[in-house]
Structure formats: structure tokens, C-alpha cells
Structure 1
Amino acid sequence: IYRNVYRFRNSVWITSTFILLIVVMGLIGYVNDETQRRSKEIAIRKVNGAEASTILRLLSRDILYVAVPSVLIGIVVSYFTGKAWLDQFAETIDMNALYFVGTALVIIALIVVCVVVRAWRIANENPVKSIKVE
């Protein structure tokens, strides 16, 4: 009786997984490009005494300024879309806000991990190497 609903659910899961993979690949590419573009600046900051945590904060802040509002917009859109979809059923259920908050926290954590892993490598690299290259 709910065969179409199960198909829709499965297609949403598959599509969401592929979209998440594409987003992570794009994020990794962006972080790599950003760290290479700013490698000379990072090297000069390190020579002047900046710690690795300061460099991590510098790179993370730029990406989180874009990521956090995007995730918040995504939560709002997904809430209203899910509510509209659930309204088509005779028996209604309430959506739990914890699902949306949990998903947002997982996405933000994934973004932070991608940024920190790449930025940590750059922050602990020899600054002479970055200055010498250019």
C-alpha cells in the first residue's frame, strides 16, 4: 500500500548520499585551494610567531562564515518540505527538532574535520618551504 512512499524514501537516501559525497569532495578541493593560495601568508604568520591553533582558527573562520548560514537555511527548507510531505498522509505525526539539529551538527562537524585536517598539515609545515616555492 505504501510502495511509492518506500521508493521515494529510498531515492531520497541515495540522492542525499551522492550529494553529500559531492559536497565533501568540493569542500576538500576548496580547502586545498584556499590553503595553497594563502600558504605564503600562513608561512609569514608562522615566522612571526603564530601558533598552529591561530592558523587553524583563521582558516576555519572563513569557511564557517559560509557554512553555518547555509546549514541553517537547509534546516529551515528541509523542515518545511518535510512538513508539507507529511501533511499528505491521513495520520499525521510531529517532526522531532532533534533530527534537524543532529543533522546540522553532523554536517558542521564534517566541515570542521575537513578544514582542520588540511589546515593542520599546512600549519605544521616548515614555513621556509612555502616561502621558497613562490
Structure 2
Amino acid sequence: MTTEPSAPTTKFDPVELPSRYAKAIVAIIAAALSVLVTALTDDVVTLAEVLGIAVAVVTAVSVYLVPNLPTGIGHYAKAIVAVAGTALQAAVPLAVEGTIDVSGWLLILLAALGAVSVGIVPNRSE
């Protein structure tokens, strides 16, 4: 009985999830969505919207810069930074305009979803 030589098999290593950058990627996506919502809700970009975009970008960078710590309060550090960014996102239109319009509420909603997502998405610590 003869056997045919088998074709060489190529083994691909699986993508390692979660990534070291998973939480930062989520925060960056939230910041990008904030910019998109600001651009699409009306034809005018107000000072509050510009400041809201700046807060979203600073929040994303801050989430990236906070180290992944495996235990204690440090385990939640990235989520805490994201929640603080959400609080600032909500405070900007109140401080600048004294009220929150529809686009402001959309930015706050996106920031809150981003903060929750940063808290939920697992991150590899090494």
C-alpha cells in the first residue's frame, strides 16, 4: 500500500486577544466617533464641541498611557481614566454654554459607552 505525500501544512498562530492595546483602541474609537457625531449633527462647530473633541482625544491618549496593572485599584485604572474623561465631556457644554444640546448629549452618550467599553474590554498586562 502506498501513501501519497501530504501537502505541507502551514500553521498560523492565533491572534492573541486581548491585546496590550485593546483598551486604548476602544478609547480611540470612542474619540473618533465623538468627532464624527460633532461633524454630522449640525453645520456649525461650537466652542463646546471643539472642547468636547479635545477631551475625547485627551481621554484616549490618557487611557493609552495608563499602564495595565494586574491587581488592586490599578486593575481598574484605565476604566477610571475613561470615566473621568466622560465626566469632563459632560461638564464642557455646561461650563461653556450653561446647557447641553442634542449634540452634547450624543457626545456624552458616546463618551459613556466608551468608558464602559474600556472597563469591559480585557487587556493583556504583559
User: What TM-score do the two structures reach when normalised by structure 1?
Assistant: 0.40
| Greater relative contact order (Cα < 8 A, sep 6+) | 1
User: What TM-score do the two structures reach when normalised by structure 2?
Assistant: 0.41
Larger helix share, 1 or 2: 1
